């Protein structure tokens, strides 16, 4: 694939940081090398000496003095080698991307660590989206994505979707306004990027079927666009086998996947990953070099040691426990919805994630209801309009998260919401 056609002017202008090249050169050199190059601070001056982090299974992660000095020091922009290597092993086991065996210039699978998948998304958009570009996505969508995309001045084209995710026929209809042959013409307006959340969508809870992913992928091949597979809820799928990912079917090297440890290990540690064709991931790293330089070495080392101790089987056993928790939370929310909201609202049972997308009857726009009346009743949800491309558009939906509240709190919250809807619907 010709990846240069996808790059923004900003991204094409980025060059490797000379300092980072020296840092990585030094890190690859034998200890006998004497470096007067890097402007790194001397870790002997740092006030932190060592750390022991107790893990719930009884194990401990120990940062002795040498490890602590490394943890507190600058590290490589793509991520620390041991974490990247472990994650590449996991991606191979879970997705077995066809691009694993490709040459770098042909899109060999590469990865980098990001400070949460939010940073990954922001850097990927900065790399691919120029002002005026047509970008395809299925709204309502994650508000953090809209926050990153909209200021770039692109034209977001909303692709219709339902509880099974983006509708390929609707995407095909939208694309039919262009001739695929024009895709490579200079200044072509054929969309070059499609973004979607394939599992446990935020806010809709929708999960794409494998069939729909295959059909969307074929359209991406026909019109030669990239797919950003934003999949932080991949590990929160309530049924096995987990759905095949776009990455697992990527014979062309046109998938850029963002993963996150936020929903399964920690959201505060800010660990995410970008997986995709090497020419593009290497470019994302250039954007990282010019902003955060790298994700915290401390948190990368901490997570890396945990994963080394667990191995893939141990990691997946941990994930099973997390899934069990969220499945039971989802079931509690669904039974409370049945108890309090039947006849007042409608919803679909999510197969993954942590959100229930609820359409309230008799209410054209939930914004005022939530921002004023709901607070009086001491119940808080997210008004659906914030997930629309135009947040001022009326939206009868609310997003309810079943991640933090107890089943008892969820039940009381829906009892209060039902009173709200009844009052609001009265003439």
Residue 229 touching ligand 09M (CB under 6 A)? no
**Beta carbon nearer to ligand 09M, 110 or 138:** 138
Residue 230 touching ligand 09M (CB under 6 A)? yes
Which tokens hold the place of 298?
């401390």
- Tell me the C-alpha distance between 183 and 225, whole Å: 9
88-147 positions binding ligand 09M, by CB under 6 A: 116-118, 142, 144
Residue with tokens 């990027």: 193
Which tokens hold the place of 242?
């987990």
- Distances from the Cα of 260 to the Cα of 51, 180, 297, 393, angstroms: 25, 34, 17, 30
Cis peptide before 241 (omega within 30 of 0): yes
Residue nearest to ligand 09M (CB): 116
DSSP per-residue string spanning 298-342:
HHHHHHHHHHHHHHHHHHHHHHHHHHHHHHHHHHHHHHHHHHHTB
Residue 232 touching ligand 09M (CB under 6 A)? yes
Residue 197 touching ligand 09M (CB under 6 A)? yes
**Smallest distance, ligand 09M to C-beta of residue 154, A:** 18
**Smallest distance, ligand 09M to C-beta of residue 139, A:** 13
**Smallest distance, ligand 09M to C-beta of residue 141, A:** 8
**Beta carbon nearer to ligand 09M, 95 or 399:** 399
Strands (E), 249-296: 255-260, 272-277
Residues in the chain: 427
**Beta carbon nearer to ligand 09M, 23 or 145:** 145
**Smallest distance, ligand 09M to C-beta of residue 123, A:** 12
How many CA within 13 A on the CB side of residue 166?
Answer: 29
**Smallest distance, ligand 09M to C-beta of residue 91, A:** 16
Among 78, 165, 198, 272, binds ligand 09M (CB under 6 A): 272
Which tokens hold the place of 358?
């609820």
**Smallest distance, ligand 09M to C-beta of residue 291, A:** 15
Residue 267 touching ligand 09M (CB under 6 A)? yes
Helix axes 407-425, 297-340, angle to 10 degrees: 50
Kindly determine how many residues on this chain lie close enough to bind ligand 09M according to the rule CB under 6 A: 13
Instruction: Name the residues that contact ligand 09M, by CB under 6 A.
Output: 116-118, 142, 144, 197, 202, 230, 232, 260, 262, 267, 272
């Amino acid at each position: 694939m010709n990846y240069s056609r996808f790059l923004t002017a900003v991204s094409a202008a980025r060059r490797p940081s000379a300092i980072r090249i020296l840092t990585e050169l030094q890190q690859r050199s034998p200890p006998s090398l004497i470096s007067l190059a890097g402007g790194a601070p001397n870790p002997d001056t740092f006030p932190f000496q060592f750390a022991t982090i107790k893990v719930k299974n009884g194990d401990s992660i120990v940062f002795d003095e040498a490890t602590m000095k490394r943890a507190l020091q600058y590290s490589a922009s793509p991520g620390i080698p041991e974490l990247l290597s472990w994650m590449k092993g996991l991606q191979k086991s879970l997705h077995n991307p066809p691009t694993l065996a490709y040459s770098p210039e042909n899109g060999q699978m590469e990865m980098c660590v990001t400070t949460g998948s939010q940073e990954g998304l922001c850097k990927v958009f900065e790399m691919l989206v120029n002002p005026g570009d047509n970008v395809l996505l299925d709204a309502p969508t994650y508000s953090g994505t809209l926050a990153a995309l909209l200021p770039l001045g692109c034209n977001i084209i909303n692709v219709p979707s339902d509880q099974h995710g983006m509708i390929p026929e609707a995407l095909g209809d939208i694309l039919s306004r262009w001739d695929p042959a024009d895709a490579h013409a200079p200044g072509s307006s054929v969309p070059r990027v499609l973004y979607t959340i394939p599992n446990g969508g935020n806010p809709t809870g929708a999960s794409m079927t494998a069939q729909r992913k295959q059909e969307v992928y074929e359209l991406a091949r026909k019109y030669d666009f990239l797919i950003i597979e934003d999949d932080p809820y991949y590990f929160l799928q309530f049924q096995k086998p987990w759905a095949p990912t776009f990455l697992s079917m990527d014979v062309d090297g046109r998938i850029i996947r963002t993963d996150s440890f936020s929903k399964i290990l920690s959201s505060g540690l800010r660990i995410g990953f970008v997986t995709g064709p090497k020419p593009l991931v290497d470019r994302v790293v250039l954007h990282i070099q010019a902003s955060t330089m790298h994700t915290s070495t401390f948190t990368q080392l901490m997570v890396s040691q945990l994963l080394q101790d667990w191995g893939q089987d141990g990691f997946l056993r941990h994930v099973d426990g997390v899934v069990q928790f969220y499945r039971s939370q989802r079931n509690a929310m669904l039974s409370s919805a049945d108890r309090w909201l039947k006849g007042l609202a409608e919803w679909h049972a999510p197969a993954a994630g942590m959100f229930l997308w609820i359409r309230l009857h008799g209410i054209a726009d939930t914004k005022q209801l939530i921002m004023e009346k709901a607070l009086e009743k001491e119940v808080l949800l997210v008004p659906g309009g914030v997930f629309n491309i135009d947040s001022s558009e009326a939206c009868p939906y609310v997003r309810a998260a079943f991640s933090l509240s107890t089943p008892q709190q969820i039940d009381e919250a829906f009892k209060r919401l039902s009173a709200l809807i009844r009052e609001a619907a009265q003439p």
